[in-house]
Homo-oligomer: A and B are copies of this chain.
Amino acid sequence: MNEFLPRGWGVQGERGIAFVITGPSGAGKSSVIAALLRRDPKLAFSVSATTRPKRPDEVDGRDYYFVSEAAFDRLVAEGKLLEWTTYQGHRYGTPRSEVVDRLALGQDVVLNVEVRGALAILNAGLSHPVVLVFMVPPTRDELIRRIRARGTESPDILQARLAIANEEVKLIPAFHYLVVNDDLAAAVARVEAIVAAERARIVPWPT
């Protein structure tokens, strides 16, 4: 703690901060977060639980905890999830332990959650600061191109994802920061700036 800070005041970076990154499918959240974690060892990733099937390139416990519907039910019933939502027929939830325990140890936590889940984190009563970042592609045309490039060949699924994205962006006003992901390195730098700035924010210090 800097010795010029008056008693009872600190900067957020000396406690744990929860950085919640959200945005429509195709915004590029996962790539940005992966780069961010590689560059900043003080950031820990909150691994979500999901009932959706694992993709070939994903690793259980690194990308998600892949669980059965019954196991997800148990997590909910036992109060082990900070928030959970259904997205395109699958459930996603944030294990309390991924977030709360690390924040208590002074680590900063990065969460990759969908839009309503992000707002639920803000209202989950964490005793640590929650910073909400909304990531978007530069244009709607680019969003369509990215969703297509993911191998979503069915026009129905493409239309469904665009419709969801249109609903999601209506919630942008509830977020703190907007990051345009036109270029991976630039987007990573923008999120890193937000992380650095929030760590320097002056706040009352819990005593």
Q: Which of A73-81, A84-92, A150-158, A198-206 contacts the other chain?
A: A198-206
Q: Report the minimal beta-carbon distance from A48 to chain B, rounded to whole angstroms.
A: 23
Q: Which of A34-42, A56-64, A103-111, A173-181 contacts the other chain?
A: A173-181
Q: Which of A5-13, A93-101, A121-129 contacts the other chain?
A: A5-13
Q: Report the minimal beta-carbon distance from A116 to chain B, rounded to whole angstroms.
A: 16
State the interface size on chain A (CB cutoff 8 A).
37
Does any Cβ of B come within 8 Å of A55's Cβ?
A: no
Contact between A136 and B4 (Cβ–Cβ < 8 Å)? yes
Q: Report the minimal beta-carbon distance from A1 to chain B, rounded to whole angstroms.
A: 10
Contact between B193 and A197 (Cβ–Cβ < 8 Å)? yes
Q: Report the minimal beta-carbon distance from A146 to chain B, rounded to whole angstroms.
A: 13
Does any Cβ of B come within 8 Å of A169's Cβ?
A: yes
Tell me, in angstroms, the Cα distance from A18 to B198 when the chains sit together. 18
Contact between B2 and A138 (Cβ–Cβ < 8 Å)? yes
Contact between B196 and A176 (Cβ–Cβ < 8 Å)? no
**A156-173 CB contact bits vs B (8 Å, 1 = yes)?**
000000000000011011
B138, B140, B173, B192: which contacts A193 (Cβ < 8 A)? B192
User: Please, which residues of chain B bring their CB within 8 A of the CB of A6?
Assistant: 169-170, 172-173
Q: Report the minimal beta-carbon distance from A12 to chain B, rounded to whole angstroms.
A: 10
Look across to chain B and name the residue whose beta carbon is closest to the beta carbon of A2: B180
Does any Cβ of B come within 8 Å of A66's Cβ?
A: no
Q: Report the minimal beta-carbon distance from A6 to chain B, rounded to whole angstroms.
A: 6
Q: Report the minimal beta-carbon distance from A165 to chain B, rounded to whole angstroms.
A: 8
B136, B173, B176: which contacts A9 (Cβ < 8 A)? B173
Does any Cβ of B come within 8 Å of A134's Cβ?
A: yes
Tell me, in angstroms, the Cα distance from A3 to B144 when the chains sit together. 14
What are 7 A-B interface contacts by the 8 Å CB criterion? A4-B24, A4-B140, A6-B169, A176-B202, A177-B197, A178-B200, A193-B200
Chain A interface residues toward B at CB < 8 A: 2-6, 9, 11, 24, 134, 136-140, 169-170, 172-173, 175-180, 189-190, 192-198, 200-202, 204
